[in-house]
Structure 1
Amino acid sequence: MRFILILSLLCFALWPALAQDTIAEKMSWLAKAKSTSNFFVHFDKNVYTNNEIAYFTGYLIKEGATKVSNHQIMSVCLVRDLDSAIIIQDKFVMGKGLSFGSITLPDSILTGNYHFIAYTDQLINGLPSAIFYQSITIKTNIDPAFKASLKVLDATKENSKNHQVLLAVTTKDNRFLPKPTQINYRYGSLSKKTKTDPSGQLLISLPEQSNLTDPNLYVKLKNDKDSSYLNLALPLKKNKASIGFYPEGGSLVLGLSSNIGWEVKDQQKMPVAVKAFLYENNEVIDTVETSSYGIGKFLLLPKRESTYSIKLIHSGLADSIYYLPKAIEKGFVLNLKSAIVRDTLSLSIKTTGTKNLNFLLHNFRQIFSSIPFDMETNRRMIKIPLDEVPKGLVTLTVLDSLNRPLAERIFFAHYDNEEKITTSTDKQIYNQREKVTLNLKLNSDTISLVSIACIQDNRLEIKKINDIESYTYLTSELNALPVVLKGTPFKDKNYLEQVLLVKGWRKYTWQDLQTTTASDIIAKKDSLQMLGSITKSKKELVKPVTIGVFGDNKIRLINTSEKGSFNFNVDELILEQGKKSVLFINDKNKFDYKIQIYDQFLAVDEKLSKSLVFENPVLPSTIVNNAELVLKGNEKAIRLKEVVIKSRKDNGISYRGASGSNACGDYVCRYNILNCRNHPGDADNTQPVAGRSYMTNGISMIYQECRAGLGVDENFLKFNGIHQPKEFYHNDYKDPQEPAFFSTIYWNYGMMLTNKKETELNFYTSDITGKFKIIVQGVTNKGVVYSENFFEVKPSK
């Protein structure tokens, strides 16, 4: 019993007050200096097509330097990875840390890799205090106008300096195109503009570049008015791997055995499963290996005058020796029984030096427990209760009597992977267009607010999946994590044990802590706004004027300053999604005025799209073509050739080209459905007529007058306001002639679940067959929750 000690948290009061206050104060300064909010956005999926709607819910989970109530607007923009171009942007109402919305992707959007950037209106030192990004892939439901492919002719050899890549372009029926295709390509620092030869081919020679972190060849093809993008991850010649050694606790100590975590990545930061020889001086003493996550562990007892190294056994990596850090003369070694714990942390400690220690449990922002401890002997077994420690990642730091860190280890406290929400369907296999009954049950003594998505399973790329539990407890605190091949990171204990062995605290270090001062907490807080100005005859005003703003059913009046500047309250800009706000001047000399809007969100979009760097590990390949990003035939409707109707009148209904929408963005499809998500941009769409009844979300409603199109002249300025969420259209697909190729067959947000009370939801399968996934995630007053389930849709007989 002498070697097993249960440390009481009551020992906190015994620690010297001055020392504890000093570290606690510095951690408080550091927390304020690097304060960020934990912001997560649930997107319904991460693979979309042109003209498809992306649904999302924003959760401000943790309050940072700015109160949750101050976050009133969520901005979402879509950025193309290839050139950081902003494709579309919109803003949505936020209240009590929640925001809901959707964005319709343009019909003309090109295939490839993109990412959504979501952030709120609160700024800290000029940048949003709450930012979230979601990588997505855009596929198309339209067959490309021409075929294009990239093929590596000869994989790079040891003595080869160039890649040889063949680009081939033909018509859809494999004929020569009538004229050459314009080509722009980029590889690392090399960019070039050229064109194909008369046969539609181009041989691209790419010199090998050193220290290339992005192995992709990016190609843009343009033939007449049709464009296409291709990117091919090229194989590289053998390079040294990136290897990190992580002795548990931080140091190797002479005469003390310790666990050593090690991590292997290739040049593109992809984890590598590998075996290796462990050498002591020039003699092999062990064979070690890493898992599929590129992480491994081995035990080592360092000896004096010995050097330790690793030599990889891997044909795809350069044959190199990697040396372990040198062992120190005197030090401290610790070992956790498990880094995934519930209520008690068990560890063993060994030392060849300092006996008087302080155990600190903290997260570099707050001290949860500090415990003085006398080793008495060189080896001890210790158990630390975690009553005062919150759920999540916690750092155990061992300090000497002068508060210098000797050893450190990260662990997960109060881990519980039990399902907080039970999801069940009435069947596991459904026919097309069949009713699904989904039951949700909250299994904890709390209240939960969740968003629910049911999507086609292949619309979720594994490496781009985010879930609210893994993001809140892991991703937001650590660097980029290895991709979990099955399930979610948070649910996989074996995965967590491996990651926490090699991932220390990445955001804050003891060096940061030592250099942090009280002056560092001074941060400039601000909020993004929509600002405006009015000039008269191109000159600054000399007296205020009154302007009107409308977009919903209300007209509001705003008074400018004497010089013509003005700003908005958030509630003056809120309107239905898809509609625009309109500003106007009611003055007899109104034609002399000019209104301008400065949207500060657009400037931040540009800044973030150019400055944020995203890690997207890729696997090299030898061939790619532009048909790979086209949906399969059983996932899309037959697309008829577009017919443009310039104008036509029938029973007082005006037709406007292919879209048929009015100035408010509203349209009616051929089945009398208002803003039907099955027929955006359809040639048969018509403008809704005020006073007539239309179906929406399964109920009949009378359409009100669209004010946005009335009396618009040069003194009316349309601009994007702040939108309320558009309801998901629930369809029973009773009309057999109406195609129903929807990959998201159910979406709901703001659904409240209560303790042990079942909630029943109903929706219908579409015409798409195969595996579907149900995702339920959200927040409770005790944390976050996530659950998933699956079912299959088979062709109807």
Structure 2
Amino acid sequence: MVKNMLPVILLLGVYIASAQQQPGHTSSPTIRTALQKIYLTTDKVIYTPNEQLWFAAYLFENQSLVRDTADVLTLGLYDCVSGQMLALKKFPLHNRVATGNILLPDSLIAGNYNLVAYTNIVDTQHVPIGTGFKPLRIYAKTGEKAFTTLLKILDSLSTSDKIVVQHQIIPESYQVTFKNARARYQLAGERSKNLELDKYGNGMVYINPKDIKTANRSFSVTTIYNGDTVKNRIRIPGNIGVQANVSASFYPEGGFLAPGYPNRVFWEVTDKHTATSMRALLLEDNQVIDTIETSANGMSFFYVNAKPGRQYAVSLGLKTNSPKFLLPPVASHGIRFEIPDVVVNDSLTIELWSTEKRSLKLMVIDITGLPSVHSFDISSYKKLTVLLNDFARGLCKIFIADEQNNVVAGSYFFSHYNNRNQLHLETDKAAYKTRDSVALKVTIVDKDGNPINSVATISCALLSRIDFGMIKNIESDHDLGVVAHQERSFLKRRNILDSAMLLRHIIRMKNMEETDTLLIYGRHTGSFLKPVVQLQLARFGKREKKPMELVLFKESNFSILKTNEEGILTLSNDELLVKDGRKLFVKGMGKKNGDFYVQTEDSLLTAHSNIEVPVYNPVYREQAPDLQALLKTDREEKFSSTMETVIVRSKRDYGATTGIANPCGDYVCQYNILNCPNHTIPYKWPVIGQKYRSVSGEIIYQGCDYQNNMYLPPASLVYLPRNFLGMDSTLLKQEFPEYLSTLSWHPFKKLKKETENQLVFHTSDQKGVYLITVQGFAENGQPFYGEKTIRVED
């Protein structure tokens, strides 16, 4: 029986009914086997300018195709509105993991950004073969401002000739009204205009897409209240409404419209493969029977009670004369079935409907390709439960075959989600005082309850800095690689495997390639390159194309290097490796060394321009935060006074040197700590011979030689990560308040099965609810994720 069905299955896959295409519509991009994929996790999701972002990266790769292992990870912050990459920085990649930190620029404007990571292996088109993305939000609040702002496009009010942008003031305390708030808005290239706000700080702007004259479709708003100014901006989408290049596709569950039943149909609307929000009319023989709409990410589902001989279509834009997209024709007979819960542990439940009594077969194929066949009879309705004890974890296929072994329906589901490793988190108490000690105990056990070794990334951050609409976790990301390979972004859910939206993803897949579930959409050219950093000395605007001896200074060490016959020196990653915040410089040998300067070539820094960065939905349609939860958890989030002190004193004490480190990368924070990891905004330069506090105790600063030195660009260096200290012994003793939104960050911490894994950290002076997250991999190769909240009170 199995042998008869396999050829049919291999040829069929899952039947997908596509809508009629409009003229000029191009086909979907080809899905190819990917080579590398990066999963990114950060200490939180919401940041402010001049704040440290801590990250951990996991690299998954197809080792049979990638011969050379990547050893450098480049991380950058992508501005989705301007299309620019900010704060590029390199980090060492060892054993397929990397960790580090970047200081977010103080020039960031409120809005949504994308954290982008890529490896130092590129194809012949200079496209990195390994990439990772994570959406982030920036709050433009520095100091103790009373509010931040939110901009979003209202899908329900927008049409083809009208885009509606809503402005909201989000208070940072229990304040509700903003009676005297003022705002001005501006489209790129146009003059600013007043935006009328109500007493709650809300207002709306109506934009005609035809009035946008420039290619830069940014929309910015400046809001002022009680002397505080907050800027925010979004990108106006290319279209909302019916355009000639818009396409709609429909995916009935089971593969077709079964007659006599309400069929669940998933559908998506795209504009040049970009998700588009759309309202539409559902038609039966050109008569309106319902109104439907896609969500902001361009997809949704509806039910249609299919009748034999009828033609069903969708008219976009709520106008019967708009372009119509046909649904698949109604089958003369067939089986309709639904999988109520696609994420199962040891069993799979299926509901089936049939208009006649039939003897059918159910075939289930696990991720390894092994089939399981079950026969059953049905008269009108049947609910089946299939045991999956021997199934491999991952994405499985399911098919229904008739008496002649013809496949009549098919879909996908996940098996063994609840049969995973179990993570147990325990704290010594639920509520803590400020500057209190928190003891966290972490235990990882397998499905049988046996402790196992693992590596975990552990963080504890303020709950209001976690947007559950944007957060990802490694357990979901690991298993959903193939499912999301047609998406520009992953579903932004706290746990995608617990979401009913997963089924929407599975059914709407146009095709599925037999590939590793860890690896997703990418390019495969067969040959790869590893970009290097080259330097050459120049004098008076002319390169010195001859062998020369150079001295490379790295902190207190130096080495003698020599350029080749063309005057070019290639630097290895080890030679470029420095401590975070430090600099690397060279000196030319000879009397004229002071006349030279360095020219560098680093093609890896420009490789990001060849990456198609996902445009996440929140870039222009941002989900409103849970305001009640924000007010309940963090009544008045405060910020340490580092920046304000530096800005004020820089005008009178230290001039241009304040706010930046000295040429060697050294600085002193406002608490007299040398190269303080918690206060990364320099307060002043250290003085040779002066005594300063440091992480390891008191130290006498020895200075550095930076006269007549030629510095390599910081973006070309490879940085060792800083140690996250949080509320260490120094900060716990200080008289000044310290308001930290991240209390703990421990990437790749080893958890041993034979010992009690306990982590101790301290709360700061910031009160509120904090979220502890633990995620990583166990020695059996299975990922795990868990979370727990604690409260900091008076």
Query: What TM-score does the superposition give when structure 2 sets the normalisation length?
Result: 0.73
Question: Which residue identity is paired with 2:723?
Answer: E
Query: How far, CA to CA, are the matches of 1:99 and 1:114 in structure 2?
Result: 21
Report the Cα offset of residue 220 of structure 1. 6.5
Q: Secondary structure at the match of 2:480?
A: helix
Q: Secondary structure at the match of 2:254?
A: coil
Contact 1:419–1:787 (8 Å) recurs in 2: no
Report the Cα offset of residue 455 of structure 1. 0.6
Aligned to 2:467: 461
Is structure 2 residue 669 aligned with structure 1 residue 669? yes
Q: 1:110 to 1:551 in 2, by over 3 A?
A: farther
Aligned to 2:200: none
Contact 1:117–1:132 (8 Å) recurs in 2: yes
Is structure 2 residue 732 aligned with structure 1 residue 726? no
Question: Which residue identity is paired with 1:724?
Answer: L
Instruction: State, as a whole percentage, how many aligned pairs show the same letter.
Output: 21
Aligned to 1:443: 445
Report the Cα offset of residue 744 of structure 1. 0.5
Q: 1:583 to 1:299 in 2, by over 3 A?
A: same
Aligned to 1:218: 219
Is structure 2 residue 252 aligned with structure 1 residue 251? no
Aligned to 2:308: 304
Report the Cα offset of residue 540 of structure 1. 5.8
State the Cα deviation string for residues 469-525 of structure 1 (Å, max 9, x = none): 2222226631356554xx5222x2xx24x532553364745899xxxxxxx964231
Query: How far, CA to CA, are the matches of 2:502 and 2:181 in structure 1?
Result: 52
Contact 2:635–2:768 (8 Å) recurs in 1: no
Q: 1:220 to 1:434 in 2, by over 3 A?
A: same
Contact 2:585–2:712 (8 Å) recurs in 1: yes
Report the Cα offset of residue 66 of structure 1. 5.3
What are the within-5 Å matches in structure 2 for residues 692-771 of structure 1? 692=691, 694-696=693-695, 699-700=696-697, 702=699, 705-707=702-704, 710-713=705-708, 715=710, 717=712, 719-720=714-715, 721-730=717-726, 731-732=728-729, 733-735=731-733, 737-755=735-753, 757-771=755-769
Report the Cα offset of residue 99 of structure 1. 0.3
Aligned to 2:789: 790
Question: Which residue identity is paired with 1:194?
Answer: R
Report the Cα offset of residue 54 of structure 1. 0.5
Query: How far, CA to CA, are the matches of 2:191 and 2:507 in structure 1?
Result: 48
**Count of matched residue pairs:** 719
Aligned to 1:49: 48
Q: 1:590 to 1:420 in 2, by over 3 A?
A: same
Report the Cα offset of residue 70 of structure 1. 0.8
Report the Cα offset of residue 19 of structure 1. 11
Aligned to 1:414: 416
Aligned to 1:103: 102
Q: Secondary structure at the match of 1:642?
A: helix
Aligned to 2:142: 141
Is structure 2 residue 428 aligned with structure 1 residue 426? yes
Query: How far, CA to CA, are the matches of 1:421 and 1:167 in structure 2?
Result: 39
Report the Cα offset of residue 599 of structure 1. 1.9
Report the Cα offset of residue 45 of structure 1. 0.8
Query: How far, CA to CA, are the matches of 2:265 and 2:6 in structure 1?
Result: 34
Aligned to 2:175: none
Task: Say which of 520, 523, 527 aligns to 2:526.
Answer: 523
What are the within-5 Å matches in structure 2 for residues 47-86 of structure 1? 47-63=46-62, 67=66, 70-86=69-85
Q: Secondary structure at the match of 2:789?
A: strand
Contact 2:112–2:135 (8 Å) recurs in 1: yes
Is structure 2 residue 565 aligned with structure 1 residue 566? no
Question: Which residue identity is paired with 1:132?
Answer: G
Aligned to 2:628: none
Aligned to 1:194: 191
Q: Secondary structure at the match of 2:190?
A: strand
Q: Secondary structure at the match of 1:779?
A: strand
What are the within-5 Å matches in structure 2 for residues 81-96 of structure 1? 81-96=80-95
Aligned to 1:4: none
The root-mean-square deviation of aligned C-alpha atoms, in Å, is 5.8
Contact 2:38–2:60 (8 Å) recurs in 1: yes
Report the Cα offset of residue 728 of structure 1. 0.6
Query: How far, CA to CA, are the matches of 1:159 and 1:368 in structure 2?
Result: 47
Aligned to 1:262: 266
Q: 1:466 to 1:417 in 2, by over 3 A?
A: farther
Q: 1:408 to 1:562 in 2, by over 3 A?
A: farther
Structure 1: which 5+ residue stretches go unaligned?
1-6, 24-29, 513-519, 622-627, 649-654
Aligned to 1:636: 639
Task: Say which of 576, 580, 591 aligns to 2:579.
Answer: 576
Q: Secondary structure at the match of 2:675?
A: coil
What are the within-5 Å matches in structure 2 for residues 300-449 of structure 1? 302-308=306-312, 324-329=327-332, 336=339, 338-343=341-346, 361=365, 368-369=369-370, 390-396=392-398, 407-416=409-418, 420-444=422-446, 445-449=451-455
Question: Which residue identity is paired with 1:305?
Answer: G
Is structure 2 residue 599 aligned with structure 1 residue 599? no
Query: What TM-score does the superposition give when structure 1 sets the normalisation length?
Result: 0.73
State the Cα deviation string for residues 84-136 of structure 1 (Å, max 9, x = none): 23331111011001101001122343333222111111223532222112222
Report the Cα offset of residue 250 of structure 1. 1.0
Report the Cα offset of residue 304 of structure 1. 3.3
Question: Which residue identity is paired with 2:707?
Answer: V
Report the Cα offset of residue 78 of structure 1. 1.3
Q: 1:371 to 1:419 in 2, by over 3 A?
A: closer
What are the within-5 Å matches in structure 2 for residues 470-619 of structure 1? 470-474=476-480, 477-478=483-484, 479=487, 480=489, 483-484=492-493, 487-490=494-497, 492=498, 495-496=499-500, 498-501=501-504, 503-504=506-507, 506=509, 508-509=511-512, 522-535=525-538, 543-591=546-594, 593-608=596-611, 612-616=614-618, 618=621
Q: 1:298 to 1:264 in 2, by over 3 A?
A: same
Q: 1:310 to 1:676 in 2, by over 3 A?
A: same
State the Cα deviation string for residues 329-372 of structure 1 (Å, max 9, x = none): 577766557533335656688899x9999968376xxx622579
Contact 1:432–1:767 (8 Å) recurs in 2: yes
Larger Rg: 1
Query: How far, CA to CA, are the matches of 1:31 and 1:70 in structure 2?
Result: 26
Q: 1:420 to 1:774 in 2, by over 3 A?
A: same
Report the Cα offset of residue 377 of structure 1. 11
Q: 1:215 to 1:772 in 2, by over 3 A?
A: farther
Q: 1:78 to 1:239 in 2, by over 3 A?
A: closer
Report the Cα offset of residue 578 of structure 1. 0.9
Query: How far, CA to CA, are the matches of 1:325 and 1:133 in structure 2?
Result: 35
Structure 2: which 5+ residue stretches go unaligned?
14-28, 170-177, 198-202, 516-522, 625-630
Q: 1:103 to 1:215 in 2, by over 3 A?
A: closer
Report the Cα offset of residue 569 of structure 1. 1.6
Report the Cα offset of residue 579 of structure 1. 1.1
Aligned to 1:625: none
Stretch moving more, 239-248 or 55-64: 239-248
Contact 1:590–1:715 (8 Å) recurs in 2: no
Query: How far, CA to CA, are the matches of 2:402 and 2:291 in structure 1?
Result: 36
